[in-house]
Each structure stands twice: as C-alpha cells, then as structure tokens.
Structure 1
Amino acid sequence: MSHNLPDRLVRTVQTLLACTMLLGSYAGAAEKLAHVTILATGGTIAGSGASSTTTVGYTAATVGVDTLIKAVPELSKVAQVKGEQVFQIASENMTNEHWLTLAKRVNTLLAQPDVDGIVITHGTDTLEETAYFLDLTVKSRKPVVVVGAMRPGTALSADGPINLYNAVLLAASKEAVGKGVLVALNDQIHSARDVSKTNTSTPDSFKTPELGLLGYIQGSKPYFYRASTRKHTADTEFDVSRLASLPQVDIVYGYANVGPVALNALVAAGAKGIIHAGVGDGSLAATVKTALVAARKQGVVIVRASRVGQGILARNGEANDDELDFVAADTLSAQKARILLMLALTRTSDTKAIQQMFYTY
C-alpha cells in the first residue's frame, strides 16, 4: 500500500482501520453484557426531600425511572439497561391489583429472549410483601431483584444509587439464576420469603434475623453462601396470568384484652380467609377463639400466625388445629401468610391442601 499511496493517506487509512476494530471490540463487549429491565414502582428510592439533610418527612415517588437510571451511569458497565415506569406510588398504597399487574408484566418480559433479568424499584414499607408475591407467581428462573432505599435521593447519605447498582449487578449475574426472587439492600442479598423490614428509618433495616441472609455484594460481585429450600418461582403451582383479582384475606392482631369486634367486621365484609397474628406461638384468646370457630363454620379459612416475628408456628401447639380445622403459618409472618393464603384460595379451599402449601412455600 505504501508504494502506491502517500504516507499521510496510509496513516489515515491505518487509523481508521484501528478505530473500526476498537469500536467493534467495544460493541462486542457491550453485546456480552446481560439485558436487564428496571421496572419502577415509586417509593423512597424515587423520593425527594426539602433539603440535603432531610431523611424523614420526605415525599416518595417523585422521580421517574429515566432519572433514576441517569443518576447511576455506572450501570452501563454491568448491564444493558432499559427502564419502564409501571407505577409511581408510595408502597403503603400497593394493592392486590398492583401485584397482579406487576407479576404479569414481569412474566411477559422474562419470556422474551432479550431480557436476562428484572430489577423492581419499590418503596420499603411493603417491599417484602411484593417480593414474596412475585416469588410465588413469577414463572421463570431468570433473576428478579426487588430493591429500595431508606433515604431519598436528595439526602447527603442517599442509599438508593448504590442499592440500584447492586440490584442491576445481581440481576445480570449468572449466580442469581434459579435463586428465586431476591431482595438487595445495604450490600446484602436476602430471599423474598424470609426477609423483613426491621427498622423504621436506618439503612440496615432489611434483615433475615434467624434464617440468615443469602449473601453479599462486594467489589461488584455477588457472593452466595446459602439458598432457600422452599419452592419458588417456576416451581410453584400458582398462575396469575388470567386472574383479575384475588380473594379477600385479612389480618387480625392478637393483644391483651383483645375482642372479636375487628374479626367479626372483616368476616361480615366478605373475608374468605383470616390470618390471626396471635401472641406467642399463635395463642388464641378465649374471646376471639369463639369468633374464629364461628367464622370457620361459615367457610372462612383460618390461619394461625404469630406477631412475634421469628420461629415456627407449631401446628396443634397452642390450639388443636386438627380439631378446629385451622392452618398453621409455619415460619411466615402474618403479612406473608396473607399472600400465600390468597394465592392458595385461587387453587383450593381444602385446609389440608392449604396446610401442605404452607410447608412447601
């Protein structure tokens, strides 16, 4: 080439060829990155405060998904990211209808070959409930990670950006495949079934105190140390694809001097199931036990849970569940027992079958 072209032209051609090869290598590297879709639902991670020191009393769900993504440019290094605004609400306003919409959208996206994982940004107040609902209804082994923040993005110590980065990293990882729906906050990985919000405001609020977290995210890499043994996602029997609503299931809380007024009102309002969050090992006060027995005779499914927050609810322990035809919640919190019972009632009203579900999921 140099014998036929001026040296300057030769150098220009060589530079162009080198640039083309470099761009090709960049394109190839980008193509190898996993495709992750972020579904935004609002919450504190999308919130804003009056000043940089406002960490309580802020307004949730004010920032859109595109702005969330732009605030963390490092995401482009770990995945090819797309965003979609599904809802824009504070999570205390999450409803059964929101859950059904979200689960259907997640299943639609994960069925596409160009989606490798899903991240859902969510308010922390009901994050554990949404995560468990998805753990029971997502029909894919691809990673689904639910993430939130305890402080708004305008705060000096905002935890949202690093939480979002870690969640996308986790959803893009091969290590997360088949692990069920995961919750990622504070550099920790938790299972949707077992995690709970444990503090009103601190960044380390999400914990799995007795059963333990699944792993950590450190140095832009997930490390798993255990996995849940309960069935989830693709291995569950629950199909929400054609459901427009869920059966009404409500929670009754146990406490000293409790009466049957709230329980009776819920049954009269059409509850198909009641979760009784009793004291201790799900003990039943005499005043409430009579009302629960009456409700069961009317066809309402009763699940005994505990307000304690940890431990196995012993079947036939503080009540004769066999005789009363009640269901024991196993280790599920009252709010998660409600979710499983709602889905169970879309399949059966047989209490023995429902009890087996509580031991399976």
Structure 2
Amino acid sequence: MQAHIPSETSRRVVILGTGGTIAGRASQASDNVGYTAAQLGVDQLVAAIPALAGQALEAEQVAQLDSKDMDFAAWQRLAQRLAEHLARPEVAGVVVTHGTDTLEETAYFLQQVLAPFKPVVLTAAMRPATALQTDGPQNLLDAVALAREPGARGVLTVFAGAIHGAEQVRKVHSYKVEAFASAEGGQLGVVEEGRVRCFGAWPQGQALGLASIVRPAAEWPRVMLLWNHVGADGALVRALLDHPTQRPHGLVVAGTGNGTLATDLEAALREAQASGVRVLRSTRCDAGPVMDLPGALPSAGALSPVKARIRLLLDLLAEM
C-alpha cells in the first residue's frame, strides 16, 4: 500500500495572535495612520482571508496589544504557548501576528529562548485591517505558507514577501509597507504567490529554554538603553546609579561609528561597570559590528542596540 503523503494545506499551522496594526481599526478606510491597534481577534483575521478557508489551521489569542506596549509577561506567555504547540507532531509550524514597532525584539527574544527546529513566523501590517489597501491579509497568507515550508526552521519574519531571520531583521521605515530589512544583505528568501524561495540557510542556534525565563516578569533585571550623541555626558548614567529604586542591572549604549563614546559618557559607564552594572557597547549605525578592542568596554558585536539589550537581559536572568 502506498504511504499517504499529506498535502501542503493539510500540514497543521497554529496562528497565535498578539494584536498590533494587523488587527487594528480606523474610523475611515482612507485613514492609514489614525487607527487603534489590537481591535480584531486572530479568528477574525483568519476568517477575512478566503484562501485560508478549509486549511488545517488553529487560531489562538495570546495577547491583544499595540506592540509599543509589548512587555515581559506577554513574552513569557507567548514563548510558553509556542513551545507547547511546536512539540505537537502534527504541527508543521506556528505563525505569530504582531505589531511592527517591536516585532524585531520579540523575534530575537524567541529565537534565543526557543531556537526552534520548526518554523515560527512573525508577521504584521503597516496598515490597519480597515484600510483600502491593507497589507495584513497577504502578509498572513505568506506567513502560513512559510510555516508549512519543509525544512524551514528558526524564528523568521515575513513582510511584503521578504523573509528575514530574527537576528538581522530591523524595522527601517516608519510608514511604507516595505518596512523591514536585514543588515548586510541578510535577507533569507521570499514568498512568491504562495511559494517559498530560500536564498540561504535557515537560522540555527542553541536554545536557552523556557527555564531561562521562568522568573516572574516583574522580577526581571532592569536593562536600559543610552545613546552617544553630540554633547553627550555621563549625567544620566550617574543619575540612574544614584536612583533608589530605578538603578539598572545593565546598560547598553548605542555608540557612534564603531561604538565610540564621548569621554564623560564613557567615564560614567566605567563607573557603572565598577559598581557591578553590566555594560555593552553597540552602535547607532544600521549595519556593521562593534569591534571588541583591548581595554574598551565590552562589545555587543553585530547586534543592534535593542537586540543587545535582550541579549544582556537574558544573560543577567541566567545569573540570577
């Protein structure tokens, strides 16, 4: 008897909703910016796409947030639900609908914690669901196709047909529907009319595991971001160090160029480091690493400032 080979549409995909513009509403269809995010449930998003009808799908609402308000508690819930669904043998992959503002942070966090052997695909929209030419339905349709792609793995994003990995993806435009890119040519592939064309290897890595984030979210370390700029000094760093309740556990500084820092800002950061605060240097530049030079403050490598903050946060959690 010939073995049954499941069709692509019968490979089960779970869609987890977290809110965002893709689930947003505006009072007028012509309004692409004056909307309220996170108004539609994930079931409604799926039902609005006729091409998804009859497919092997499940939908679950994990959060309902504007992604500017994404928080550690929502990250914990999302990571837990992802781990549970990914462990199911009938699930080919999982899609997460998300807001664009912090999508790159959530993607990187999930890749570090889960490093999944199945695809976890984050997608979003720049225009609300009520827009005349909303981009959410096509992005969600592409995400489902990518979640079913044989051999795909890791935390991925798909947006305007472009596939990116969690480590390199960044939001690079505040308004256009082609809002995401990867630094230094890191785009992984494209989705074209429901077909995935891969340019390179899927993401891999060692998962930190759910145990690494089990501590209640309210107890997670405080890691803050600073920037070098013309006229920068160490006043903010010293104020943070002296604050009775907001003293940070870690500081990430977005330096200029190759992580360079104004003299007084660097001096204050060294004071923070000497007092037990962990410090990382990143760069304001859109691409390129910060070189780890002798005698310099520790480098974040090629991570963007927001992803360096997540990396430091997870390191500090592991030490608690």
When normalised by structure 1's length, the TM-score is 0.81
Return the alpha-carbon distance in structure 2 between the equivalents of residues 114 and 164 of structure 1: 20
Partner of 2:168: 194
Equivalent position to 1:172, from 148, 159, 164: 148
User: Is 2:228–2:256's contact at 8 Å kept on the other side of the alignment?
Assistant: yes
Alpha-carbon shift at residue 117 of structure 1 (Å): 1.0
Equivalent position to 1:75, from 28, 31, 52: 52
In the alignment, residue 145 of structure 2 is paired with which amino acid?
L
Alpha-carbon shift at residue 31 of structure 1 (Å): 9.4
Alpha-carbon shift at residue 244 of structure 1 (Å): 2.1
- Secondary structure of 2:174's counterpart equals coil
Return the alpha-carbon distance in structure 1 between the equivalents of residues 304 and 42 of structure 2: 31
1:223 aligns with 2:197: yes
Partner of 2:272: 295
Equivalent position to 1:155, from 131, 145, 148: 131
Return the alpha-carbon distance in structure 1 between the equivalents of residues 129 and 171 of structure 2: 20
In the alignment, residue 340 of structure 1 is paired with which amino acid?
R
Partner of 1:114: 90
Partner of 1:354: none
Partner of 2:293: 316
Correspondence 1:207-218 to 2 at 5 A = 207-218=181-192
Return the alpha-carbon distance in structure 2 between the equivalents of residues 291 and 241 of structure 1: 30
Alpha-carbon shift at residue 96 of structure 1 (Å): 1.6
Alpha-carbon shift at residue 278 of structure 1 (Å): 1.0
User: Is 1:278–1:304's contact at 8 Å kept on the other side of the alignment?
Assistant: yes
Cα 1:31/1:306, change in 2 over 3 Å: closer
Partner of 2:262: 285
Q: Which moved more, 1:241-250 or 1:131-140?
A: 241-250
Equivalent position to 1:37, from 14, 24, 29: 14
When normalised by structure 2's length, the TM-score is 0.91
- Secondary structure of 1:157's counterpart equals coil
Equivalent position to 2:214, from 242, 245, 258: 242
Q: Which moved more, 1:335-344 or 1:29-38?
A: 29-38
Return the alpha-carbon distance in structure 2 between the equivalents of residues 271 and 310 of structure 1: 27
Q: CA RMSD in A?
A: 2.1
Equivalent position to 2:66, from 86, 90, 94: 90
Identity of aligned residues (%): 38
Alpha-carbon shift at residue 227 of structure 1 (Å): 2.5
Alpha-carbon shift at residue 270 of structure 1 (Å): 2.6
Alpha-carbon shift at residue 30 of structure 1 (Å): 7.0
Partner of 2:306: 335
Deviations 1:127-157 (A, max 9, x none): 0000000011115301100000011111111
Cα 1:52/1:236, change in 2 over 3 Å: same
Equivalent position to 1:51, from 10, 13, 28: 28
Alpha-carbon shift at residue 98 of structure 1 (Å): 1.4
Alpha-carbon shift at residue 206 of structure 1 (Å): 0.3
Partner of 1:262: 236
Q: Which moved more, 1:92-101 or 1:30-39?
A: 30-39
Return the alpha-carbon distance in structure 1 between the equivalents of residues 308 and 256 of structure 2: 16
Return the alpha-carbon distance in structure 1 between the equivalents of residues 195 and 103 of structure 2: 23
Flag structure 2 segments of 5+ consecutive residues without an equivalent.
Answer: none
Alpha-carbon shift at residue 266 of structure 1 (Å): 3.3
- Secondary structure of 2:184's counterpart equals coil
User: Is 1:278–1:305's contact at 8 Å kept on the other side of the alignment?
Assistant: yes
Partner of 1:135: 111
Return the alpha-carbon distance in structure 1 between the equivalents of residues 8 and 177 of structure 2: 35
Cα 1:172/1:166, change in 2 over 3 Å: same
User: Is 1:134–1:181's contact at 8 Å kept on the other side of the alignment?
Assistant: yes
Flag structure 1 segments of 5+ consecutive residues without an equivalent.
Answer: 1-26, 350-361
Return the alpha-carbon distance in structure 2 between the equivalents of residues 226 and 31 of structure 1: 22
User: Is 1:30–1:80's contact at 8 Å kept on the other side of the alignment?
Assistant: no
User: Is 1:194–1:211's contact at 8 Å kept on the other side of the alignment?
Assistant: no
Q: Which moved more, 1:94-103 or 1:340-349?
A: 340-349
Alpha-carbon shift at residue 106 of structure 1 (Å): 0.7
Cα 1:123/1:31, change in 2 over 3 Å: closer
Return the alpha-carbon distance in structure 1 between the equivalents of residues 8 and 160 of structure 2: 29
User: Is 1:175–1:222's contact at 8 Å kept on the other side of the alignment?
Assistant: no
Give the helix-richer structure, 1 or 2.
Answer: 1
